[in-house]
C-alpha cells in the first residue's frame, strides 16, 4: 500500500483507540492494555537492536570470517531459522535453567526474539552485500583500501539501501512475535488481553482494542521504514541514474 | 642490492614470464614486457586477447599463475625472503600497489558519494591525509579534469564523460606512478569520448606518469603513445612505435586486425 | 543432563503429536492457498474493493497471529458457534497466511503479460475460461517457490496452537515437562524435529525451484 493509504489507516486506528478510551464499554480496559503495550514496545525495540547486531556480525562472519567462525555463524543461522520462535523461547525459558543458567523472562524475551530475527536478518545483510557489483570492490582495490575500509566506507553504505525494505518486514515480524512472550509469564499486551478476557469474558471489545494497538505499532514501523528508504534512495540519486 | 642509480635505470613495470590461466584456458602465456619510466604504452588487439587481464594483474585484481611482476624496481607479486622470491603477503601487496592506479571501463565511481567525496575518500582513509589537505588536492584535480563546478554532484547526476573524468581525478588523488586505463571511452557515447581523451592527453604532457592504456581508438593511440603493443591470443604479437606500426605492420595478424578496425570506422 | 532412556520413552508420543502438527500445517496451508487466491482476485477486481481488501490484508499481516488465534477461539462461541481448538487454530493459520499468499498470487498474476488477455479476447474465450486455462497456468509455476517458503513459515508457527491447548508438538512437550519436571529432553527433541523438517522442506523447495527454472528456460 502507498504511504498515503498507510498514513490514513494509522490515523484511523489512532482515532478509533482514542474514541474507545472515552467510551463506556472500552474505557476500563485501556490503561491496563497501554501498560502492556509499553512492555511490548520495549521488548520489540531491544529485540530489534540485538537482531540487527547479530545479523551484521553473522553475515560478516559467514562472508569473510575464518573457517571456524563461518561454521559457527552458519549453525546459528540454520538453527534459528530452522526451528520456530516459540520453541526457541521455551527452550531458553524451560531448558536453560537445567544447565544452570536462569535468565529473567524479560531477558529471555529480548534474547530469544532478537536471535531469531537476527538469523533471518543475516541472510538479508549477506544478500545485500553480495548484491553490490564487483566493480565497486575493484575500485577500492585500485584505491588501495583495505577490505575493512572498503566494507565500511563503500560496500555497507550501498548495501544499506537495499536492506531497508526487508528489514522493515523483519521488524514487523519481530513486533508480532513479541506476543509469544505472554506464554512465558511476561505481562505484555497479549498477556493482558488474555488475562482481561478470562476475568471479564468481554472478548470482542478487548481483542478489538488490542488488535488496533498492534496495528498502530506496525503501521508506525512500516511508515518510518518507507520514509527512511525514500531518503536513502534520494541520497544515491538513483532517479537520474545514467 | 639496488643503488639509487640502479633504480632509475630499471623499468617502471616489468612482466617477467607472467602466465595467467582460468582453469584449462591460458589467457596470457609467458608474458615478457618492460615499460620505461614515463612511457605511454597503448595496448591493442582483438576482443578476448587478454588486454584487460594484463592491467588487472598489474592492479592485483587477478592472481598470476607463474612469473613475477615488478614495479618500480621491486617485485610486486612476490617478496624477497631469505634470498628467494616467495608469493607476496597482503601487506607487501598493498605497499607496492600504492604505486599503481586504475581507471575502469565502467567508471566504478562510488554512487553514494559526491564527485568530491569520491576523490577524498581514499586519500583520507588510506593515505591518512587530513580532510582539508584531501579536499585541496581533490579540488586541484577536479579542476584539472575540468569539473571544478561539479564537486557536489553525485555520479548519477553526471554524464558518462564527466563520470569518467571524476574517476581519473579519483585515481590521480592517490599520486600513483603508473596509471592504467582500460578502454575508458568504450562505455561512452561517441561525442563524449573527446573530453576524456583530452584529459588523458593533458596528463601525458604535464605529468611524468607512466601510462598503460587499452584502447580501440587507433587514432588516439597513434598520436599519444610512445609504443603500441598488439596482443593476439594471450601473446604480444607485434610491438613498436606507432608511426611504423600503423604505417607498415610486420605481422599478418596485425595487418588483418588493423584493416578490420579501420574498415569499421 | 541428558537422559537417553527418558528421551526414547517419549518419542512415540512426540511422533503422534508431530502428526497433529503436520495435519494443522497441511489443512492450514490449503486454506491459505484458497483464501489467498480469492483475496488476490477481489483485490484486482476494482479500485474500491481493491482498497478495502488491501487494508484488510495489511491489517491481518500487521497484527500477531497469536492474538488472531485467541480472537477466533473466543469470539465464535459468542455468536453461538463453538469451534474446537484445532479448527479455530487452523482457520487462524489459514487466514493469516492467506494474506501473505495473496501478495504472492498478485505478483504472479501481474507478471503474466497483458497480451495473453488480449489474445484470449481475440479468440473469444470467456473470462472464466481465460483465467482458468490461460492465465493461471502461466501465473502459478513461477510463484511456487515463494508459496513453498510460506508453507515452511506456517509450519514453524504451528506451536502457537499450544496456546489454545491443541495437542500438537509443543503442547505435548510442555505437558511432558510439567509432569516430570524434565523439560530438557522434550523441548530439545521438538527443536530437532522442527529443524529436520525445515531443512528437508528447504531442500525440497530449492529442488523445485531448479526444476521450474529449467522448465521455463527451455
Ligand atoms: N573471470 C574469468 N573467468 C574465466 N575466463 C575469463 C575471466 N576473465 C577473463 N576470461 C577470459 O580471458 C580471456 C581474456 O580476457 P580479457 O583480458 O578480458 O580480454 P580483452 O580485454 O582483450 O577483451 C578471454 O577469453 C576471457 O573469456
Ligand atoms: Mg577488455
Q: What is the CATH number of the domain that holds C173?
A: 1.10.3720.10
- DSSP codes joined into one string, B150-212: GTT--GGGS-HHHHHHHHHHHHHTT--SEEEEESTTTTS-HHHHHHHHHHHHHHHHH---EEE
User: Is the predicted pLDDT of residue B1 greater than 50, yes or no?
Assistant: no
Is there a contact between C14 and C189 (Cβ–Cβ < 8 Å)? yes
Chain C residues whose CB is inside 8 A of the A178 CB are: 64
Report how far ligand 1's centroid is from the alpha carbon of B209 (Å): 27
The reply to whether A229 falls in a domain is yes
From the CA of B49, the nearest ligand is 1
Give C130 to chain A, closest Cα distance, Å.
Answer: 28
Identify whether C140 is part of a domain: yes
Q: How much is the pLDDT for A237?
A: 55
Q: Give the Å distances, CA to CA, from A124 to A169, B202, C62.
A: 11, 46, 20
CB contacts of A83 in chain C (<8 Å) are 156, 191, 194-195, 198
Closest residue CA from atom 17 of ligand 1:
B50
Judged against a pLDDT cut of 50, whether residue A51 lies above it is answered with yes
Q: Please tell me the residue having the least CA distance from ligand 1 atom 6.
A: B22
pLDDT at residue A226, rounded to an integer = 95
Q: Looking at the domain assignment, is residue A20 inside a domain? A: yes
Residue B214 corresponds to which cell in the numbers above? 587499452
Q: Cα dist. C151→A135, A176, B88, C156 in Å?
A: 38, 18, 51, 9
**Total domains, chain C:** 1
Q: Which residues pair with C189 in a beta bridge?
A: none
Rg of chain A over Cα atoms, rounded to whole angstroms, equals 21
Question: Is B186 near ligand 1, meaning CB less than 6 Å away?
Answer: no
- Phi/psi at A84 (5° precision): -95, 160
**pLDDT-based confidence at residue B7 (cuts at 50, 70, 90):** low
Chain A residues with beta carbon closer than 8 angstroms to that of C163: 183
Running DSSP on this structure, what letter comes out for residue A102? Answer: -
pLDDT > 70: what percent of chain B?
Answer: 96
Domain that holds residue C113: 23-217
Mean pLDDT, chain B, whole residue set: 92
- Asked if residue C70 is part of any domain, the answer here is yes
Cα B27 versus chain centre, distance: 19
- Across the range A37-43, mean pLDDT stands at 97
Q: Which residue of C has its CA nearest to A213?
A: C63
- Band of the pLDDT at B2, cuts 50, 70, 90? very low
Higher per-residue confidence, B2 vs C146: C146
Residue B170 confidence (pLDDT) above 50 = yes
Question: How many domains is chain A built from?
Answer: 1
* CB of residue B57 inside a 6 A radius of ligand 1: no
Tell me: pLDDT of C81 over 50: yes
Residues of A in contact with B111 (CB under 8 A): 158, 236-238
Strands B100-103 and B178-182: parallel
- What is the CA(B129)–ligand 1 centre distance, in A? 37
Residue with cell 508420543: C13
Residue at A113 is within a domain: yes
Q: With cut-offs at 50, 70 and 90, classify the pLDDT of residue A242.
A: very low
Residues 96-135 of B with CB under 8 A from A: 97-98, 100-102, 104, 106, 108-112, 121-122, 125-126
Question: Using CA atoms, how far apart are residues B3 and B238, in angstroms rounded to an integer?
Answer: 33
User: Separation of B257 CA from ligand 1 center, angstroms?
Assistant: 19
Q: Residue A143 and residue B108: Cβ atoms within 8 Å? A: no
For chain B, the residue count is 265
| CB nearest A179 (choices: C64, C159, C174) | C64
Count residue pairs from A and B with Cβ separation < 8 A: 76
Least confident of A75-84, A135-144, A224-233, C71-80: C71-80
Contacts of range C132-139, beta carbons closer than 8 Å, 24 or more positions apart: C135/C109, C138/C112, C139/C105, C139/C108, C139/C109, C139/C111, C139/C112
Q: Give backbone dihedrals phi and psi of B144, rounded to 5 degrees, phi first.
A: -60, -40
Q: Name the nearest CA neighbour of B176 among B126, B245, B230.
A: B126
Give the pLDDT of residue B8.
60
Return the sign of the alpha-carbon dihedral for residues C173, C177, C179, C182: positive
C182/A175: higher pLDDT? A175
Taking the CB of residue C186, how many other CB atoms lie within 10 A of it?
29
Provide the 3-class DSSP secondary structure of residue C62: helix
A240 inside domain? no
Residue C126: what pLDDT? 83
- Searching chain A, which residue's CA lies closest to the CA of residue C193? A83
Decide which of C132 and B179 is more confident. B179
A185 in a domain, yes or no? yes
pLDDT tens-place string over residues B255-264: 999 988 877 6
Residue B172's nearest CA partner among B195, B193, B200 is: B200
Those chains having 3 or more beta-carbon pairs within 8 angstroms of chain B are A
In sequence order, the 6+-apart residues with CB closer than 8 A to the CB of B230 are B44, B45, B236, B237, B238, B239, B245, B249, B251, B253, B254, B257
CA torsion, ordered A32, A33, A35, A36, to nearest 10 deg = 120
* Residue C81: inside a domain: yes
Regarding chains B and C, contact by 3 or more CB pairs under 8 A is answered as no
Does A contact C via 3+ CB–CB distances below 8 Å? yes
Torsion angles phi and psi, residue B264, rounded to 5 = -70, -20
Whether A204 is in a domain gets the answer yes
Ligand 1: atom nearest CA of B231 is 22
In-domain check, residue C73: yes
Question: In which band, very low, low, confident or very high, does the pLDDT at C217 lie, cut at 50, 70 and 90?
Answer: low
Please report the pLDDT score of residue A240 as a whole number: 43
Q: Report the residue from C67, C160, C191 with minimal CB separation from A211.
A: C67
The answer to whether the Cβ–Cβ distance between B121 and A157 falls below 8 Å is: no
Contact residues of A toward B, CB < 8 A: 135-136, 138-146, 149, 153-154, 157-158, 161, 235-242
Answer whether residue A241 is part of any domain: no
pLDDT in tens, C9-68: 999 999 999 999 999 999 999 999 999 999 999 998 888 999 999 999 999 999 999 999
Has residue C87 been placed in a domain?
Answer: yes
pLDDT at B261: 84
Q: Which domain holds residue A62?
A: 3-235
Residues 6+ apart with CB under 8 A from C202: A82, C152
- Tens digits of residue pLDDT in C111-153: 998 898 888 888 888 888 888 888 988 898 889 989 999 999 9
Q: What is the CATH number of the domain that holds A190?
A: 1.10.3720.10
Best mutation site among B50, B181, B183, B234 for ligand 1 pocket (most ligand atoms within 8 Å of CB) = B50
d(CA C196, CA A103): 27
Separation of CA B44 and ligand 2 centre (Å): 10
Q: How many CB atoms lie within 10 A of CB A75?
A: 10
pLDDT tens digits, B15-49:
999 999 999 999 999 999 999 999 999 999 999 99
Contact at CB, A138 and B111, closer than 8 angstroms: no
> 3-state SS string over A163-220?
HHHHHHHHHHHHHHHHHHHHHHCCCCHHHHHHHHHHHHCCHHHHHHHHHHHHHHHHHH
Which of A98, A207, A219 faces C67 most closely, judged by CB atoms? A207
Does residue C175 belong to the interface with chain A, where contact is any CB pair within 8 Å?
no
3-state helix, strand, coil in chain C (%, to 5): 85, 0, 15
Cα separation, B101 vs B167, whole angstroms: 11
Judge whether residue A241 has pLDDT over 80.
Answer: no
pLDDT category, B6, cuts 50, 70, 90?
low
Does the residue C205 lie in any domain?
yes
pLDDT surpasses 60 at C103 = yes
CB of A37 closer than 8 Å to CB of A187: no
Alpha-carbon Rg for chain B, nearest whole angstrom, is 19
Instruction: Encode pLDDT of C147-204 as tens digits.
Output: 999 999 999 999 999 999 899 999 999 999 889 888 899 999 999 999 999 999 989 9
CA–CA gap between residue A53 and residue A62 (Å, rounded): 14
Q: Is residue C43 part of a domain?
A: yes
C-alpha span between B264 and B261 (Å, rounded)? 5
Residue B265 has pLDDT above 60, yes or no: no
Q: How far apart, in Å, are the Cα atoms of A108 and each of A46, A89, A95, C26? A: 12, 7, 12, 31
Cell numbers for B180, please give them. 592504467
For the stretch B212-240, pLDDT in tens is: 999 999 999 999 999 999 999 999 999 99
Prediction pTM value: 0.88
> Does C101 map to a domain?
yes
| Band of residue A236 on the pLDDT scale cut at 50, 70, 90 | low
Answer for the pair A242, A65: CB distance below 8 angstroms, yes or no: no
With an 8 Å Cβ cutoff, are A154 and B163 in contact?
Answer: no
Amino acid at each position: 500500500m502507498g504511504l498515503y493509504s498507510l498514513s490514513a489507516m494509522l490515523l484511523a486506528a489512532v482515532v478509533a483507540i482514542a474514541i474507545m478510551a472515552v467510551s463506556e464499554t472500552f474505557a476500563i480496559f485501556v490503561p491496563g492494555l497501554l501498560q502492556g503495550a509499553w512492555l511490548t514496545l520495549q521488548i520489540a525495540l531491544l529485540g530489534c537492536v540485538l537482531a540487527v547486531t547479530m545479523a551484521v556480525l553473522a553475515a560478516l562472519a559467514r562472508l569473510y570470517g575464518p573457517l571456524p567462525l563461518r561454521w559457527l555463524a552458519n549453525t546459528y543461522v540454520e538453527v534459528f531459522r530452522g526451528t520456530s520462535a516459540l520453541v526457541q523461547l521455551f527452550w531458553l525459558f524451560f531448558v536453560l535453567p537445567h544447565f544452570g543458567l536462569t535468565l529473567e523472562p524479560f531477558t529471555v524475551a529480548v534474547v530469544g526474539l532478537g536471535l531469531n530475527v537476527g538469523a533471518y536478518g543475516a541472510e538479508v545483510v549477506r544478500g545485500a552485500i553480495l548484491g553490490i557489483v564487483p566493480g565497486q570492490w575493484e575500485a577500492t582495490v585500485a584505491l588501495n583500501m583495505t577490505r575493512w575500509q572498503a566494507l565500511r566506507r563503500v560496500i555497507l553504505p550501498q548495501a544499506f539501501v537495499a536492506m531497508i525494505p526487508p528489514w522493515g518486514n523483519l521488524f514487523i515480524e519481530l513486533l508480532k512475535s513479541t506476543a509469544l512472550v505472554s506464554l512465558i509469564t511476561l505481562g505484555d499486551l497479549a498477556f493482558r488481553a488474555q488475562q482481561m478476557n478470562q476475568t471479564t469474558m468481554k472478548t470482542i471489545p478487548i481483542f478489538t482494542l488490542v488488535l488496533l494497538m498492534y496495528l498502530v505499532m506496525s503501521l508506525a514501523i512500516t511508515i518510518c521504514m518507507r520514509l527512511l528508504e525514500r531518503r536513502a534512495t534520494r541520497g544515491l540519486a538513483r532517479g537520474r541514474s545514467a | 642490492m639496488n643503488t639509487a642509480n640502479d633504480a632509475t635505470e630499471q623499468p617502471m613495470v616489468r612482466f617477467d614470464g607472467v602466465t595467467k590461466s582460468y582453469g584449462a584456458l591460458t589467457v596470457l602465456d609467458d608474458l615478457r614486457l618492460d615499460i620505461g619510466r614515463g612511457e605511454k604504452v597503448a595496448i591493442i588487439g582483438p576482443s578476448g586477447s587478454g588486454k584487460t587481464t594484463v592491467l588487472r594483474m598489474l592492479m592485483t585484481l587477478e592472481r598470476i599463475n607463474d612469473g613475477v611482476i615488478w614495479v618500480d624496481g621491486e617485485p610486486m607479486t612476490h617478496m624477497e625472503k631469505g634470498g628467494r622470491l616467495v608469493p607476496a603477503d597482503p601487506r607487501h601487496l598493498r605497499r607496492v600497489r600504492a604505486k599503481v592506479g586504475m581507471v575502469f571501463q565502467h567508471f566504478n565511481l562510488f554512487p553514494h558519494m559526491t564527485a568530491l567525496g569520491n576523490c577524498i575518500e581514499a586519500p583520507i582513509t588510506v593515505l591518512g591525509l587530513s580532510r582539508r589537505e584531501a579536499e585541496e588536492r581533490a579540488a586541484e584535480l577536479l579542476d584539472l579534469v575540468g569539473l571544478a563546478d561539479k564537486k557536489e554532484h553525485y555520479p548519477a547526476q553526471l554524464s558518462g564523460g564527466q563520470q569518467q573524468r571524476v574517476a581519473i581525478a579519483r585515481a590521480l588523488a592517490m599520486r600513483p606512478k603508473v596509471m592504467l586505463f582500460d578502454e575508458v571511452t568504450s562505455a561512452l557515447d561517441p561525442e563524449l569520448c573527446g573530453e576524456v581523451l583530452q584529459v588523458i592527453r593533458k596528463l601525458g604532457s604535464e605529468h611524468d606518469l607512466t601510462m598503460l592504456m587499452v584502447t580501440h581508438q587507433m587514432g588516439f593511440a597513434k598520436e599519444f603513445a610512445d609504443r603500441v603493443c598488439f596482443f593476439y591470443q594471450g601473446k604480444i604479437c607485434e610491438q613498436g612505435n606507432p608511426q611504423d606500426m600503423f604505417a607498415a605492420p610486420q605481422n599478418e595478424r596485425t595487418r588483418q586486425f588493423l584493416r578490420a578496425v579501420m574498415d569499421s570506422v | 543432563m541428558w537422559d537417553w532412556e527418558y528421551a526414547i520413552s517419549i518419542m512415540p508420543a512426540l511422533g503422534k503429536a508431530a502428526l497433529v502438527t503436520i495435519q494443522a500445517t497441511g489443512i492450514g496451508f490449503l486454506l491459505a492457498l484458497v483464501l489467498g487466491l480469492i483475496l488476490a482476485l477481489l483485490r484486482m477486481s476494482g479500485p474500491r474493493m481493491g482498497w478495502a481488501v488491501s487494508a484488510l490484508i495489511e491489517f491481518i499481516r500487521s497484527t500477531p497471529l497469536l492474538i488472531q488465534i485467541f480472537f477466533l477461539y473466543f469470539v465464535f462461541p459468542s455468536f453461538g458457534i463453538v469451534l474446537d481448538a484445532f479448527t479455530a487454530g487452523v482457520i487462524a493459520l489459514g487466514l493469516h497466511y492467506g494474506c501473505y499468499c495473496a501478495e504472492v498470487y498478485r505478483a504472479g498474476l501481474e507478471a503474466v503479460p497483458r497480451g495473453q488477455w488480449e489474445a484470449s479476447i481475440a479468440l473469444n474465450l470467456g473470462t472464466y475460461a481465460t483465467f482458468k486455462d490461460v492465465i493461471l497456468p502461466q501465473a502459478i509455476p513461477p510463484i511456487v517457490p515463494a508459496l513453498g517458503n510460506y508453507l515452511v513459515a506456517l509450519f514453524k508457527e504451528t506451536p502457537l496452537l499450544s496456546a489454545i491447548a491443541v495437542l500438537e508438538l509443543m503442547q505435548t512437550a510442555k505437558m511432558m515437562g510439567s509432569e516430570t519436571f524434565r523439560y530438557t529432553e522434550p523441548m530439545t527433541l521438538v527443536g530437532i524435529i522442527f529443524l529436520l523438517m525445515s531443512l528437508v522442506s528447504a531442500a525440497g523447495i530449492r529442488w523445485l525451484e531448479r526444476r521450474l527454472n529449467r522448465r521455463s528456460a527451455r
